[in-house]
C-alpha cells in the first residue's frame, strides 16, 4: 500500500497572508517526502479560499525545485477550463521541471460555482464530454503531429513543445464515479481517482466493483 498527500492552500483566516500558506504547503510536502509518501496531489480551483490553487502546475513546479523523490500530481485539473494544446504543453513543461515526477489527474470539475464564473452555461454533462475529448488529444499531442477535429476543439497538426520526460507520457488519472467514466479511463490507458466522500465503506466497495468491471471489459 502506498500513501499520498492531498493538499491545498486552505485559508480560514482572512488575516493570514497567502505567502504564509505557501510556506506551509512546502513544509507539508517536505514532511510527506521524508515520511516516504508516494505523491503529493494538488487540485485546481478558482475564486475560493477553501482550496487556493488556480493553476496546480505552478505549485508543482515550485515544489519540484524543493523536493527530490516524491511524485507531484494534479488532483485534478478541470478539463473544460483548458485548451488541449495548452494543457499538453504546460503538463510536459512541468514534467521536465520536476525531472519526470508528474502525475496528471483530470476531472470534469466538481463545483457549479466555478462553471457559473468561468464557463457560463456549462453543466456537468458538457464538462464530462469535454474531459473525454481532451484526454486522447493530449496523448496525441505528446506523441507529435496530432490533428484534431472534435466537437469542442479543432486545430491543425500540432506537436506539444516541450515533450514530457516520462515515456510514453506522465501517468494520467481520471476522476471517476459512474461506471461509464471508469470504462472510459481504463479503455484509454488511464488510472482512476475515486473517493467515497462521506458515503462510508459501502461506497468504497461499489467504486471498486465499477473499476474491476471496467478492467474486465478491457483486459489489455
Classify the C-alpha dihedral 176-182-187-193 as positive or negative.
Answer: positive
Q: How many domains does the chain have?
A: 1
CATH number of the domain that 102 lies in?
A: 3.20.20.30
The verdict on residue 81 lying in a domain is yes
**d(Cα 183, Cα 211) in Å, to the nearest integer?**
8
The verdict on residue 202 lying in a domain is no
**d(Cα 156, Cα 70) in Å, to the nearest integer?**
37
Residue 56: the pLDDT is 97
The verdict on residue 110 lying in a domain is yes
* Residue showing cell 473517493: 195
The verdict on residue 139 lying in a domain is yes
Show pLDDT as tens, one digit a residue, over the chain (220 residues).
Answer: 999 999 988 999 999 999 999 999 999 999 999 999 999 999 999 999 988 999 999 999 999 999 999 999 999 999 999 999 999 999 999 999 999 999 999 999 988 999 999 999 999 999 999 999 999 999 999 999 999 999 999 999 999 999 999 999 999 999 998 899 999 999 999 999 998 888 999 999 999 999 999 999 999 9
The verdict on residue 212 lying in a domain is no
Model-level pTM greater than 0.75?
A: yes
The verdict on residue 219 lying in a domain is no
Domain that holds residue 171: 5-175
**d(Cα 182, Cα 83) in Å, to the nearest integer?**
23
Residue 2: the pLDDT is 96
The verdict on residue 137 lying in a domain is yes
**d(Cα 89, Cα 134) in Å, to the nearest integer?**
13
The verdict on residue 166 lying in a domain is yes
Amino acid at each position: 500500500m502506498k500513501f499520498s498527500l492531498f493538499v491545498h492552500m486552505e485559508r480560514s483566516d482572512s488575516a493570514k497572508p497567502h505567502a504564509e500558506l505557501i510556506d506551509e504547503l512546502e513544509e507539508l510536502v517536505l514532511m510527506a517526502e521524508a515520511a516516504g509518501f508516494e505523491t503529493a496531489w494538488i487540485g485546481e480551483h478558482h475564486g475560493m479560499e477553501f482550496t487556493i490553487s488556480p493553476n496546480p502546475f505552478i505549485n508543482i513546479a515550485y515544489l519540484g525545485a524543493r523536493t527530490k523523490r516524491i511524485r507531484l500530481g494534479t488532483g485534478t485539473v478541470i478539463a473544460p477550463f483548458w485548451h488541449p494544446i495548452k494543457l499538453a504543453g504546460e503538463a510536459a513543461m512541468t514534467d521536465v521541471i520536476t525531472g519526470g515526477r508528474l502525475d496528471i489527474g483530470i476531472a470534469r470539475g466538481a463545483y457549479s460555482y466555478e462553471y457559473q464564473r468561468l464557463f457560463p452555461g456549462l453543466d456537468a454533462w458538457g464538462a464530462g464530454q469535454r474531459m473525454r475529448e481532451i484526454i486522447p488529444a493530449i496523448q496525441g499531442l505528446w506523441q507529435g503531429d496530432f490533428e484534431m477535429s472534435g466537437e469542442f476543439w479543432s486545430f491543425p497538426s500540432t506537436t506539444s513543445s516541450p515533450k514530457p520526460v516520462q515515456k510514453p507520457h506522465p501517468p494520467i488519472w481520471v476522476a471517476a464515479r459512474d461506471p461509464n467514466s471508469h470504462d472510459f479511463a481504463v479503455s484509454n490507458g488511464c488510472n482512476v481517482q475515486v473517493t467515497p466522500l462521506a458515503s462510508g465503506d459501502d461506497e468504497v466497495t461499489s467504486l471498486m466493483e465499477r473499476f474491476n468491471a471496467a478492467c474486465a471489459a478491457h483486459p489489455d
